[in-house]
Structure 1
């Protein structure tokens, strides 16, 4: 037996506000416009985003990456801070494609929620645009999905997609790395966007005052610091010095990400005393009673990007990166692998 209603139902009655979606698009257009660069054909609002590679490359190879922000979003909901997670979103993808020598060209975002809050979504996507500006890529399009019943009130999810290009002959794949090469570490801005399930567990157990001063800022600010975007300094470095390999230090830490750019016969030996673990990681380790090995597998421990160059180029590379504003450490070297030992050893 069927039932019906004489009431005229609308999409708004079902929980989807088309007007709010239109308001969001209008609100974010000025921020997206600021990210436009050569190659963009058209702006936000079409069914597909158009980008022309042009004549800069003789044999262009497209490099793509996708990622999210993970459970760092749960902390953003708890603190009601939505202005930096968009930077995290961009960083996770552009830093990934950068390590193969690619210049990020454009970025698309996907924002999904149960009920669209225009102010919150605008803050998030303003952060996405800020990240794109830092990376020199265009926020060329995206999707906002309002799906009643899919997410708890006040929560949302984010995904992002970056596309870059590299000259085929300039692809960085680690095959030129040899014993004696130097491993350089670029400082992270904090936890970046990995390990937040453990971070949240430690916060739950320790019950700290998140508004209390922590190393010159609030603990909340330290925990929410956005992921550093290394694109412009490293593109500049690659234009003047041969970079043999790079590793973006995300989930898995140094011990699992550096081997991704090493051939099987090589090992990276890293010296713990070469850099200081930032106070935030010491706090996490102390309050979570986290073992050293677990810290190295979960967190970046202060090193957000690794760059491998020849011994002859090491000093020049460090100097160039410091001039670009990076905090740089010589953290180790490459040697011949012995037997089945790990490909990254932190000693």
Structure 2
């Protein structure tokens, strides 16, 4: 289903460490993505500059990251996966396993539009802190404002249940943002509107500023 949503073919696999999931001596083959792009259309971060706005595109939930920690929290707290998730009609298991939002078609539509795109970061393992810096040139910092987007309640639920420090949460989960786009300030509002028309909610979550390369959550 994921391949159909992305319009791609499954060709091969990669390795991943998943403590506590596979029995001793067992392994799994997983998919990876290969893309083709003309050199002049590469999004390598060279267009990103001070004053650019940072857009956060909503995730559907945990996506596929942090599950070693999720399983540990669920096991330690002895959570019944079939019990109702607080405030929702779904069970805890259904919320934790909500399918990952696939952004391929909405991003390709954006690239075909007249709106400029300076950078794009998929927020996977490592969260905002580790993935956004990949598209920042030296001397640029992503200043992101907490509270500028609404995260799904599963993240707060896990933090409370596991008594997690904020830093652990930030370094492990996507925090409700599965993709980050960097665009000129002048087209930020139009860019958010475009993605929402594509069925992907988004918000302006910060600004690119001069500084030490990385992410500053304020």
Q: Which residue of 1 aligns with 2:130?
A: 256
Q: Which residue of 2 aligns with 1:326?
A: 200
CA contact (8 A) 2:53 2:188 kept: yes
The reply to whether residue 185 of structure 1 matches residue 59 of structure 2 is: no
Larger Cα-atom Rg: 1
Q: Which residue of 2 aligns with 1:231?
A: 104
- Partner SS, residue 167 of structure 2: helix
Selected match of 2:33 from 155, 162, 177: 162
Q: Distance in 2 between matches of 1:198 and 1:281?
A: 12
Selected match of 1:277 from 135, 140, 151: 151
Q: Distance in 2 between matches of 1:164 and 1:289?
A: 40
Cα distance, 1:138–1:301 mapped onto 2, change above 3 Å? same
Q: Which residue of 2 aligns with 1:197?
A: 68
Q: Distance in 1 between matches of 2:217 and 2:23?
A: 42
Q: Distance in 1 between matches of 2:2 and 2:184?
A: 31
1:314 Cα shift? 0.8
- Partner SS, residue 158 of structure 1: coil
Q: Distance in 1 between matches of 2:97 and 2:158?
A: 14
Q: With structure 2 as the length reference, what TM-score do the two structures score? A: 0.89
Q: Deviations over 1:131-187 (max 9, x none)?
A: 111001134x569xxxxxxx759x762311322211211000011111110000011
Q: Which residue of 2 aligns with 1:123?
A: none
1:313 Cα shift? 1.4
Q: With structure 1 as the length reference, what TM-score do the two structures score? A: 0.57
CA RMSD of aligned residues (A): 1.8
The structure richer in strand per residue is: 1
**Which contiguous aligned blocks of 4+ residues in structure 1 show a shift greater than 4 angstroms?**
none
Q: Which residue of 2 aligns with 1:174?
A: 45
- Partner SS, residue 216 of structure 1: coil
Q: Distance in 2 between matches of 1:323 and 1:251?
A: 28
- Partner SS, residue 185 of structure 1: strand
Count of paired positions: 206
Selected match of 2:95 from 196, 219, 222: 222
Q: Distance in 1 between matches of 2:152 and 2:94?
A: 14
- Partner SS, residue 235 of structure 1: helix
Q: Distance in 2 between matches of 1:271 and 1:152?
A: 41
Q: Distance in 2 between matches of 1:252 and 1:134?
A: 24
Which residues in structure 2 correspond to 1:1-347 (within 5 Å)? 130-139=1-10, 141=11, 152=23, 157-214=28-85, 215-240=88-113, 241-337=115-211, 341=212, 343-347=214-218
Q: Distance in 1 between matches of 2:133 and 2:214?
A: 6
